[in-house]
Amino acid sequence: MSTPAPLPAFRRVNDPPPMQLTPRDKRILEAIHAHDGLLSRAQIKRLFFTGDTQLRVRMTLLYQHGYVQRPSRKQRASLPDLIYWLDDKGAALVAGLAGETLETFRYRQEPRWLQVEHDLAVNDVRIAFQQACEQSEGFSLAEWIPEGDFHAYPDRVAYSLPNGTRQSRNVTPDGFCGLSHLGRTFRFLLELDNRTSDNPRFGREKVLPGLAYLASSAYKQRFGVNAGQWLVVTTGKRRLHNLKQQTERIAGKDAQRFSFTTLEAVSAETILTAPIWLKGGEAGFQPLVSASEPIFAATAGWR
């Protein structure tokens, strides 16, 4: 008996081999949607597979049967990894699982091509939080709100620049993480900074509106309290120290509402309890959550 020819990687065939949708397939489709509509091959493997063969087989079948889309050969050449997003058939299935129809279901129909690397990095941080909670006794990921939800339902805040000029803008974190530990709830807002050059506008464009958001009625209406901590994840230690110094200059004592680390330092093993975070206004790397207290003031991050 001859071995079937491998399916093409970048186009669909008219008669794909039969497949039976498995519970894991459905969870993969739900996860793609939950992660702001995009997951890389490596991220899907981290979440659902232990080996490459089954990953390749299942994702190829989901693509060939119209449940997911993936980039063309030309698009793939400029990406750090193969990526997947929902096609109409997959979106309809996820909508049905949520009790909706495709007509009313809001989902990402195409990646933001200029931000794919940024969006995948956000997912890496989210997956690190998720897997750290699964592996660490006493921790649970109570909630994750993706950036897309903030864009769909934005919160606008007013704030003053150092020269007294009044400004207003929508605040759209790259994610919101609600973390439970030993009966406490921690609230983290993620800012993923993947620039490689210095950004002198970080203080004006991120720090001041970020602080105003934490103190705003809009934040309290959305989350029930004004407790929270900004987590800034950036590309390297030089840029980390630059952003921390900017934050301290413009925020003063409120710089403690920001903590900084690098993408390289983030993993499931490090993100919660390893000393990879620099808190605004303090020296020395610390864990995000210790056995007794978080690295920030109790009133700032939890209740």
Taking CA 108 as the corner, what is the angle to CA 102 and CA 110, rounded to the nearest 5 degrees? Answer: 115
Among residues 1, 3, 85, the alpha carbon closest in space to that of 40 is found at: 85
Q: Work out the percent of the chain whose per-residue pLDDT is above 90.
A: 87
Can you give the pLDDT at residue 195?
Answer: 79
> Residue 299: which pLDDT band, with cuts at 50, 70 and 90?
very low
| Beta-bridge mates of residue 258 | 230
- pLDDT, averaged across the chain: 92
Distance CA 257, CA 150 (A): 20
Distance in angstroms (rounded) separating the CA atoms of residues 43 and 241? 29
Domain borders along the chain are: 23-111, 126-301
Contact (Cβ atoms closer than 8 angstroms) between residue 102 and residue 92 = yes
- CATH of 23-111, picked from 1.10.1330.10, 3.10.580.10, 1.10.10.10, 3.40.50.720, is 1.10.10.10
| Span of 7-21, 86-100, 226-240, 285-299 with lowest mean pLDDT | 285-299
* 29 close to 93: Cβ distance less than 8 angstroms: yes
Q: Is the pLDDT of residue 6 over 90?
A: no
Could you count the other beta carbons within 10 Å of the beta carbon of residue 253? 9
- Bridge partners of 145, per DSSP, are 176
Q: Which of 132, 106, 263, 251 is nearest to 196 (CA)?
A: 263
pLDDT of 293 > 60? The answer is no
Q: How confident is the model at residue 129 (pLDDT cuts 50, 70, 90)?
A: very high
